[in-house]
């Protein structure tokens, strides 16, 4: 019998406990991830990843965080996805500067809704060129005609479906340069079903226009419609074959927020207008419903690039963003 076993029982138990603790700490390194994920290699992502980007126009951020206003979004967040606070890039907090910042990955020289077409190669153009796919595979459907000035710098490489500039039409909305969100959404879903695009952007408008008009009931109905559309998009993703679904991410954000003291307006003088949000659903997304950290509107582009396996682009000037950890986590890139 060794000297060890002749020691008093208490001491032996203590030594054993220490040894067991050290062993269990060692054997648990590296820590297993909370749930299995299929991130795919950078190459697999470049070949097969998909992203759907849905933008709502100027919703009140608190309304997005409200389970009453966005019931389906919040029901889904309980089991998957994350909802983050975000900050609009332009202090002017207008639509076109917001959409240009999303497409450029940094604030552009656009400060109002009258500015000219974006000059940078946009996110959509980068994807069409780098993934080497035809225009139909990188598609945008918009309710507002001016979105054309944000999503592409040139014609041809990207599929753009948006109304022309013009006065209100019979059967359409009472505001100019637009069509109803339901028309935009139906066209986008039809395109998804036919083409299964690698990148699909759907840009809605109704919430902003009803808010400007001061029609609270219609504004809330437009939010509920967007809420149902989010559920519809997630169902489309869930219907994909397993591997394709695991490489598909849905992002939802907005161009700007609305004034804290005046929900009808937004802009430089309306405090709170830069308060926006970013929701995300996908295999790599942190499944924690809410994350306190505020992210930036300009982070959306590099986040999407990373989801396609491209590394962060450090060359962008003017306060460019970076991939959002809660969404991309350790997605491989090259
Ligand atoms: Zn507006």
Mind listing the pLDDT tens digit for each residue in 199-246? 999 999 999 999 999 999 999 999 999 999 999 999 999 999 999 999
> Closest Cα to residue 83, out of 302, 297, 295?
295
111 C-alpha vs ligand 1 centroid, how far in Å?
13
Ligand 1 centroid – CA 88 distance (Å): 14
Nearest to 240 by CA among 38, 25, 50, 56: 50
Rounded mean pLDDT of 76-94?
A: 95
221 Cα: distance to centroid of ligand 1 (angstroms) = 17
Distance from residue 287's CA to the centre of ligand 1 (Å): 32
pLDDT, tens digit, 9 for 90 and up, residues 244-302: 999 999 999 999 999 999 999 999 999 999 999 999 999 999 888 787 789 999 999 99
Find out whether 174 and 197 touch, Cβ atoms under 8 Å: no
| Burial of residue 5 (number of CB atoms within 10 Å: 0-12, 13-18, 19+) | exposed
pLDDT at 111 over 50: yes
Ligand 1 centroid to Cα of residue 271, in Å, is 14
Give me the helices (H) in the chain, please. 3-6, 9-27, 42-48, 61-64, 71-77, 95-104, 123-130, 148-151, 181-195, 206-213, 216-238, 242-246, 300-307, 325-328
If one compares 177 and 318, the residue with the highest pLDDT of the two is 177
Question: What mean pLDDT comes out for the span 40-57?
Answer: 95
Distance of CA 116 to the CA centre of its chain: 25
């Amino acid at each position: 019998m060794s000297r060890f076993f002749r020691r008093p029982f208490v001491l032996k138990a203590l030594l054993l406990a220490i040894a067991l603790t050290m062993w269990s700490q060692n054997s648990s390194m590296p820590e297993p991830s909370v749930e299995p994920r299929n991130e795919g290699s950078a190459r697999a992502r470049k070949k097969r990843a998909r992203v759907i980007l849905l933008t709502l126009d100027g919703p009140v951020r608190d309304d997005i965080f409200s389970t009453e206003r966005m019931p389906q979004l919040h029901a889904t967040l309980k089991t998957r996805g994350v909802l983050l606070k975000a900050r609009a890039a332009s202090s002017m907090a207008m639509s076109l500067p917001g959409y240009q910042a999303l497409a450029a990955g940094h604030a552009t020289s656009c400060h109002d809704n009258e500015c000219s077409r974006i000059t940078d190669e946009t996110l959509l153009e980068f994807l069409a060129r780098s993934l080497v796919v035809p225009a139909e595979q990188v598609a945008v459907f918009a309710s507002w005609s001016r979105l054309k000035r944000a999503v592409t710098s040139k014609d041809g490489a990207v599929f753009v479906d948006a109304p022309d500039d013009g006065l209100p039409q019979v059967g359409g909305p009472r505001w100019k340069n637009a069509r109803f969100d339901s028309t935009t959404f139906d066209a986008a879903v039809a395109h998804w079903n036919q083409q299964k695009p690698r990148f699909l952007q759907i840009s809605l408008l109704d919430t902003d226009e009803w808010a400007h008009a001061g029609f609270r009931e219609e504004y809330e109905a437009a939010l509920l419609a967007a809420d149902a559309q989010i559920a519809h998009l997630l169902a489309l993703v869930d219907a994909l074959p397993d591997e394709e679904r695991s490489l598909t991410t849905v992002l939802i954000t907005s161009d700007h927020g609305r004034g804290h003291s005046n929900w009808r307006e937004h802009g430089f003088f309306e405090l709170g207008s830069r308060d926006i949000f970013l929701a995300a659903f996908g295999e790599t997304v942190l499944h924690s419903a809410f994350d306190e950290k505020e992210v930036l509107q300009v982070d959306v582009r590099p986040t999407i690039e990373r989801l396609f396996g491209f590394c962060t682009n450090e060359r962008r000037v003017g306060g460019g963003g970076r991939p959002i950890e809660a969404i991309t986590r350790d997605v491989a890139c090259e």
